[in-house]
Amino acid sequence: MTSRPTWSRVVLKLSGEALAEPTGFGLDNNVLTQVATEVREAREELGTDIAIVVGGGNFWRGIKGAGQGMDQAQADYMGMLATVMNGLALQDALERVGQQSRVMSAIEMPKIAEPYIRRRAQRHLEKGRVVILAGGTGNPFFTTDTAAALRAAEIDAQAILKGTHSGVDGVYTADPKLDSAATRYERISHMDVITKGLKVMDATAITFCMDKNLPIVVFDLLAKGNVKSILRGDPVGTLVG
């Protein structure tokens, strides 16, 4: 290990879209390899325990199904299955770059993933494995943002790293793609995110993080070296907390 990390255990939150091909659907192998390599290097060089919560929007979004008249609970369960697909892809990418990992699912499917058990997840992290937490919370009506916040508190993580895509590198005063005058916050409180209606994570997740005093770093996932830079304490993206 070359230096002491800012946090010894974190949850990395990835959207499904961040792993998608340029069409926004499916999986981009180059992105998977890049993310896996960044995570492995952070583990090896800094020794930080890393758990990953991944969304499923590159395959299915429950809110889309509900908007088309589908029962929302049913649509959300389909979304949870999509996160397991992404989790398995991430595991494969991690193993290919030499990083041991485990997929743990909130919905039991023992043929392909371990059931999520808090103490078992902690034990995997202690052994240097990356734990991929799939299946959301296991309940409909809750997003993977909320799953990331919940799991972070459960496994005693000290921060959530929320990786964005499409070139957005933090939290802005307005959508930088629509407003050229938008400026990026270097730091902002949980409460200001809520009162200003900034789209960092959903309101349930932000409120939970505020209650648990969990900082969130919003950063550009696809900029190489960002994960290690954040863990070293460099000013990357926006710190919410």
Give a three-class secondary structure readout of 81-122. Answer: HHHHHHHHHHHHHHHHCCCCEEEEECCCCCCCCEECCHHHHH
* Closest residue by Cα to residue 102 from 128, 81, 131, 126: 131
Residue 191 has pLDDT above 80, yes or no: yes
At the topology level, CATH places domain 9-240 in: Carbamate kinase (3.40.1160)
Q: If DSSP codes are grouped into helix, strand and coil, which group holds residue 194?
A: helix
pLDDT digits (tens, 9 = 90+) for 65-114: 777 888 999 999 999 999 999 999 999 999 999 999 999 999 999 999 99
Stretch among 19-33, 52-66, 91-105, 109-123 having the lowest mean pLDDT: 52-66
CA dist 23 and 58 (Å) reads 9
Return mean pLDDT, the chain. 93
Count CA atoms closer than 13 A to 130's CA, side-chain side.
Answer: 31
Are the C-beta atoms of 145 and 47 separated by less than 8 Å?
no
What are the tens digits of pLDDT across the range 138-184? 999 999 999 999 999 999 999 999 998 777 889 998 888 888 888 99
Classified as helix, coil or strand, 134 is strand
- The percentage of residues in the chain with a pLDDT greater than 90, rounded to a whole number, is 80
Task: Locate the domains of the chain by residue range.
Answer: 9-240
pTM above 0.75, yes or no: yes
Decide if pLDDT at 202 tops 50.
yes
Across residues 20-26, what is the average pLDDT? 89
pLDDT band at 4 (very low <50, low <70, confident <90, very high): low
Give the Cα separation of 172 and 141 in Å (integer).
27
Mean per-residue pLDDT, 119-143: 97
Identify the pLDDT of residue 1.
41
Instruction: Report whether pLDDT(2) > 50.
Output: no
Whole-number pLDDT of residue 231: 94
In this structure, what token pair is assigned to residue 134?
Answer: 């799939």
